[in-house]
């Protein structure tokens, strides 16, 4: 996607950014590019383009809200930092939960004024947490990435990181699962090394996870019949996004649940897909893997990621937060905004990730989608930063 951005900037300067070249939801005109174009394009250029994309999308959102939204459903549209400060003051907001990808960064590029926003909130004594459905990273890995991308080393703490891998471990600990003869609770994992590491840190004995390179991806009827199941008895099976998910892993997980009917089936999240590429291709999410295991096993997974009540209860209990004093900031209506609303928090939608004006129009028209309507909408997190008001 980034290969096309340098030419878009050139078009903006020479053709006054005509409407046919506008960018939304990660889609781009099909323009030629070269490695030299890519080399000329800096992180600052990307951040500036993200800023312009989100402001243009906000104009569309404003039209949607003002023309097709009833007063009772209408979210507050934030146009300046003063608007945001007034909202925070009037609603006594003390705690801020941020989704990460699509809100604070896109890949390895920071969103406009994301660093300044986080640092300012922390300096003002607000409680800040980073809540992500991404189960591939440990808390320390997420902290390291945020420090690097946002250039804010020294102020972030590991306990600010609330990834779904960590939450899965904490949830299983709260269940007080039965121990085996070795006094270890055994958890089988479909997922990455980061998920396995978090579960091990929570005190569990792990099987599954990443297979050796030479492990076959398929499994025949005869192979499954002869498989000896070295995993042994399990107390839980946890599913996180696994880019190497295959039929062999599905077979093993299905029979493990069959042999251990009391074992918990836990999903780190139920995200259907993510967006990749210049034309916003759907990359299947963890929900697709969970559905496969649920269908084969006849079981229903417990979701511990957004928008589950399991996650909100853990956050409120562990960190002592009050939902009515908390703002959830996200880019997805089905996870972030629903999570905030269902949990009794205020919810803020930014337009630097998945949600578009078309998505907002759809939920406005659907009475059954009221939980996806955000409390407030603004283009990007820079609108939360005081000194950014003149730059928005």
Q: Tokens 């609303």 appear where?
A: 341
The rounded distance, in Å, linking the Cα atoms of 51 and 248 is 44
CA–chain centroid gap for 114, Å, is: 16
Residues 4-8: contacts with CB within 8 Å, 24+ apart? 4/28, 4/29, 4/30, 4/31, 4/33, 4/278, 5/41, 5/45, 5/46, 5/49, 6/33, 6/37, 6/38, 6/40, 6/41, 6/45, 7/31, 7/32, 7/33, 7/37, 8/49
Per-residue CA distances from 48 to 146, 221, 332, 352, 370 (Å): 19, 55, 22, 12, 33
Annotated catalytic, 57?
Answer: no
Per-residue DSSP letters for 165-200? Answer: HHHHHHHHHHTTPPP-TTS--EEEEES-HHHHHHHH
DSSP secondary structure code for residue 217 in this structure: S
CA dihedral 135, 112, 354, 274 (to 10 degrees): -30
Of the residues 12, 94, 147, 294, only one is catalytic, namely 94
- What amino acid positions are annotated as catalytic residues? 94
């Amino acid at each position: 996607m980034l290969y096309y951005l340098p030419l878009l900037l050139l078009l903006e300067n020479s053709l006054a950014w005509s409407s046919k070249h506008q960018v939304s939801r990660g889609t781009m005109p099909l323009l030629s590019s070269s490695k030299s174009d890519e080399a000329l394009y800096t992180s600052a250029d990307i951040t500036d383009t993200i800023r312009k994309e989100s402001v243009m999308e906000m104009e569309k959102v404003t039209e949607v809200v003002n023309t097709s939204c009833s007063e009772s459903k209408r979210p507050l549209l934030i146009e300046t930092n003063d608007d945001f400060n007034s909202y925070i003051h009037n609603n006594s907001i003390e705690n801020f939960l941020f989704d990460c990808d699509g809100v604070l960064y896109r890949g390895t590029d920071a969103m406009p004024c994301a660093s300044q926003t986080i640092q300012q909130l922390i300096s003002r004594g607000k409680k800040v947490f980073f809540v992500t459905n991404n189960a591939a990273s440990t808390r320390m890995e997420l902290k390291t990435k945020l420090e690097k991308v946002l250039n804010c080393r020294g102020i972030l703490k590991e306990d600010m990181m609330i990834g779904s891998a960590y939450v899965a471990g904490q949830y299983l600990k709260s269940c007080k699962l039965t121990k085996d003869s070795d006094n270890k609770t055994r958890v089988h994992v479909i997922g990455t090394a980061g998920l396995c590491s978090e579960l091990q840190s929570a005190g569990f004995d792990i099987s599954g996870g990443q297979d050796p390179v030479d492990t076959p991806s398929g499994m025949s009827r005869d192979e499954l019949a002869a498989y000896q199941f070295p995993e042994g008895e399990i107390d839980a099976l946890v599913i996180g996004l696994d880019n190497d998910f295959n039929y062999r892993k599905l077979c093993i997980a299905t029979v493990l649940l069959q042999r251990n009917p009391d074992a918990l089936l836990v999903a780190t999240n139920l995200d259907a897909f993510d967006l990749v590429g210049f034309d916003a291709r759907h990359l299947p999410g963890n929900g697709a893997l969970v559905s496969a295991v649920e269908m084969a096993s006849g079981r229903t997974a417990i979701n511990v990621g957004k928008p589950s009540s399991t996650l909100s209860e853990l956050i409120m209990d562990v960190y002592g937060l009050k939902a009515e004093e908390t703002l959830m900031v996200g880019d997805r209506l089905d996870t972030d905004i629903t999570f905030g609303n269902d949990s009794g928090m205020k919810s803020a939608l930014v337009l630097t990730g998945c949600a578009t004006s078309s998505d907002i129009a759809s939920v406005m028209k659907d009475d059954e989608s009221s939980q996806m309507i955000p409390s407030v909408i603004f283009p990007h997190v820079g609108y939360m930063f005081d000194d950014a008001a003149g730059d928005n």
